[in-house]
């Protein structure tokens, strides 16, 4: 317990927020600071082939100690935190023996983590929790994954009697802005299959994720003095409101769950002359995913016909696809992770990811890569928390996966 908590808290204090407006890789230089810390730590643990490239991708190996020809296992996590909220001056707080009531994160700002707002809290009554101080996110996504992987590997190193194949570790930058796999060298990594340790609630086991795209709509207006604007002014802000009103209101994140897709309006910028809307398009079903993109194109065409050609400009960029199709032929690795969880006393919660992971793109790059839990909740905001027990059970699950491979091949 002490090891995984100590690691996580120390990593969480390092600001690694990524920046989607940067063209660099990594998008922020501060991610390299954590990468260098982790590189030194892995070298100190005695790992081999420790390498940090100029793009911030950190890899290492634990050589096989088995006489068998075993598949190479990959374990992957990302170093950056969400651009949605500051990762600077993160100050993790320990709540011992949680009493099931409100947790005051920040008294002066009246920031309260309450089971009324977040019912999952009740599941962890009597356990130790790590929370924010109400000012920043916590960073369990995905520094908890890094801490859990390294704690599991340290256990394997300290117990040389445990038979295992070769293990490859990969820590990536910029996952939160959809670029974590951009420069990942699958061939050089050399794993036969891998797991991202980047899930949420204890027990999560995911091999399906959203198909994802980013849509940017630029709306061109015409500014005229309001005193003489009749039949002349075209206010792009009103165009933006009209465009948004033609999307189905039930297809928003706050009204969907499970396999239901959505349009997520993430940014609005507007003046009379020009406005911009940015949407995340998400759906597990490939056909419905394409239908959502068609709807945006149809609305664009309708409004251009109504207000004049080229007044509305739409750009859609695909981001990642559902990894289910690539993992279906390797389903034994999902079953392997489920068995490892059960041996750790954890009930597997096989469910679709309502988001994406590096594993989604890596699966399409030839590395089958399901996702397993870190234990965190309420990612990307000040109400983020993670139960210590869940972190320990994630470590146990990783250790069990390593142990099960020689038994399964």
Per-residue pLDDT of the chain (409 residues; tens, 9 = 90+): 789 999 999 999 999 999 989 999 999 999 999 999 999 999 999 999 999 999 999 999 999 999 999 999 999 999 999 998 999 999 999 999 999 999 999 999 999 999 999 999 999 999 999 999 999 999 999 999 999 999 999 999 999 999 999 999 999 999 999 899 999 999 999 999 999 999 999 999 999 999 999 999 999 999 999 999 999 999 999 999 999 999 999 999 999 999 999 999 999 999 999 999 999 999 999 999 999 999 999 999 999 999 987 899 999 999 888 999 899 999 999 999 999 999 999 999 998 888 877 898 999 999 999 999 999 999 999 999 999 999 999 999 999 999 999 998 8
- Is 376 exposed, middle or buried (CB count within 10 Å of its CB: 0-12, 13-18, 19+)? buried
Supply 48's token pair: 């081999």
- Closest listed residue to residue 118, CA positions, set 98, 148, 136: 98
The boundaries of every CATH 3.40.630.10 domain in the chain are 2-208+322-408
Alpha-carbon distance of 377 to 24, in angstroms, equals 30
Q: What pLDDT, on the 0 to 100 scale, is given for residue 358?
A: 87
CATH code given to domain 2-208+322-408? 3.40.630.10
Q: What fold does the segment set 211-320 form as a domain?
A: Alpha-Beta Plaits (3.30.70)
Supply 200's token pair: 């949420």
Cα separation values, 62 from 47, 51, 150, 165, Å: 6, 13, 11, 8
Q: What pLDDT, on the 0 to 100 scale, is given for residue 355?
A: 80
The boundaries of every CATH 3.30.70.360 domain in the chain are 211-320
CB atoms within 10 A of CB 100: 12
- Cα 221 to chain centroid, rounded: 37
Alpha-carbon distance of 147 to 270, in angstroms, equals 42
What residues does 270 pair with on adjacent strands? 275
Supply 83's token pair: 């651009």
Predicted TM-score (pTM) of this structure: 0.87
Q: What pLDDT, on the 0 to 100 scale, is given for residue 374?
A: 98
Residues noted as catalytic:
80, 175
Alpha-carbon distance of 255 to 106, in angstroms, equals 30
Alpha-carbon distance of 375 to 339, in angstroms, equals 18
Q: What pLDDT, on the 0 to 100 scale, is given for residue 178?
A: 85
Q: What pLDDT, on the 0 to 100 scale, is given for residue 353?
A: 85
């Amino acid at each position: 317990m002490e090891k995984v908590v100590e690691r996580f808290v120390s990593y969480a204090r390092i600001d690694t927020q990524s920046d989607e407006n940067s063209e660099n890789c990594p998008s922020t230089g501060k991610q390299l600071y954590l990468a260098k810390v982790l590189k030194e730590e892995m070298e100190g643990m005695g790992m081999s082939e420790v390498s940090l490239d100029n793009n911030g991708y950190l890899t290492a190996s634990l050589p096989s100690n088995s006489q068998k020809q075993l598949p190479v296992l990959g374990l992957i996590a990302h170093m950056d935190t969400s651009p949605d909220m500051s990762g600077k001056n993160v100050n993790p707080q320990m709540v011992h023996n949680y009493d099931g009531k409100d947790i005051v994160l920040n008294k002066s700002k009246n920031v309260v983590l309450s089971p009324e707002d977040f019912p999952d809290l009740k599941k962890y009554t009597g356990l130790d929790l790590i929370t924010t101080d109400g000012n920043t996110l916590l960073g369990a996504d995905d520094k908890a994954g890094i801490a859990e992987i390294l704690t599991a590997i340290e256990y394997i190193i300290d117990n040389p009697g445990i038979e295992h194949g070769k293990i490859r570790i990969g820590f990536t930058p910029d996952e939160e802005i959809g670029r974590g796999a951009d420069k990942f060298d699958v061939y050089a990594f050399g794993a036969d299959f891998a797991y991202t340790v980047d899930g949420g609630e204890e027990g999560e086991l995911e091999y399906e994720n959203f198909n994802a795209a980013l849509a940017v709509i630029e709306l061109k207006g015409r500014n005229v003095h309001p005193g003489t604007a009749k039949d002349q002014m075209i206010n792009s802000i009103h165009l933006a409101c009209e465009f948004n009103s033609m999307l189905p209101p039930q297809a928003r994140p706050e009204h969907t769950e499970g396999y239901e897709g959505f349009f997520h309006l993430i940014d609005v910028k507007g003046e009379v002359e020009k406005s911009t809307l940015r949407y995340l398009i998400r759906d597990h079903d490939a056909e419905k995913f394409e239908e959502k993109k068609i709807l945006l194109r149809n609305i664009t065409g309708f409004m251009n016909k109504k207000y004049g050609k080229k007044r509305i400009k739409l750009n859609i960029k695909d981001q990642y696809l559902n990894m289910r199709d690539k993992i279906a032929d390797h389903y034994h690795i999902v079953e392997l992770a489920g068995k490892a969880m059960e041996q750790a006393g954890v009930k597997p919660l096989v469910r679709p990811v309502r988001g994406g992971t590096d594993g989604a793109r890596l699966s399409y790059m030839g590395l089958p890569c399901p996702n397993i839990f870190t234990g965190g909740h309420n990612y990307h905001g000040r109400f983020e928390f993670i139960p210590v027990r869940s972190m320990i059970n994630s470590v146990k699950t990783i250790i069990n996966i390593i142990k099960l491979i020689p038994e399964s091949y």
